[in-house]
């Protein structure tokens, strides 16, 4: 349901319409476009730690430690790039299951006229288990896609460490927008007395 009076979207499922990232790290290069992504499982998130602090007289920071037993993502992906010597040009649908997710949310921004304007929303997720399934839209490249997905599922920790900083920049923009929709409608001094 979300909070329509605050222009705040539902968090479970959470919908992400479109994002594009440029991958240029080591052996992984190219462009990845993800669209129509649905995330399910955020309603099971539990906050295990929260800390607030003023970094200066008008810059406020909120840190939240969150734990989720399972997060399920599904959507469409298009990639044009390379992994080592392998050229990858592909389009398809994916679903990803993440288990034992712990994340630190670091939210920072200026307080102006009793309104918190979020300027940074960094999420640092730690994942216990990762599994991706992928349905290739082209049958002609299915065998190669299956091989690549098996590789990703086997070596995901290394790949994850490589792409996390790049993906996080895209997530930051998305979550900053959501946070500002909420905090634009509520008094800072009432939320954080």
**What's 43's domain CATH number?**
3.15.10.30
The range of the structural domain enclosing residue 114 comes to 4-190
CA distances from 119 to 61, 84, 109, 161, 180 (A): 10, 36, 5, 24, 9
pLDDT tens per residue across span 17-63: 999 999 887 778 899 999 999 999 999 999 999 999 999 989 999 99
What's the structural domain count of the chain? 1
Q: pLDDT tens digits, residue range 65-92?
A: 999 999 999 999 999 998 788 888 889 9
């Amino acid at each position: 349901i979300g909070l329509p009076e605050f222009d705040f979207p539902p968090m479970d499922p959470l919908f992400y319409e479109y994002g594009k990232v440029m991958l240029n790290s080591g052996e992984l290069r190219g462009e990845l476009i993800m669209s129509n992504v649905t995330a399910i499982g955020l309603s099971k998130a539990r906050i295990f730690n929260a800390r607030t602090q003023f970094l200066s007289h008008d810059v406020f920071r909120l840190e939240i430690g969150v734990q989720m037993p399972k997060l399920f993502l599904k959507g469409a992906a298009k990639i044009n790039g390379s992994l080592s010597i392998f050229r990858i040009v592909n389009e398809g649908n994916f679903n990803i299951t993440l288990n034992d997710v712990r994340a630190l949310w670091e939210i920072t921004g200026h307080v102006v006229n009793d309104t918190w304007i979020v300027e940074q929303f960094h999420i640092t997720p730690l994942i216990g288990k990762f599994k991706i399934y992928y349905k290739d839209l082209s049958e002609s490249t299915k065998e190669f896609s299956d091989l690549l997905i098996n590789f990703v599922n086997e070596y995901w920790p290394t790949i994850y460490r490589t792409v996390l900083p790049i993906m996080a920049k895209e997530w930051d923009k998305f979550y900053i927008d959501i946070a500002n929709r909420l905090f634009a409608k509520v008094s800072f001094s009432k939320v954080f007395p």
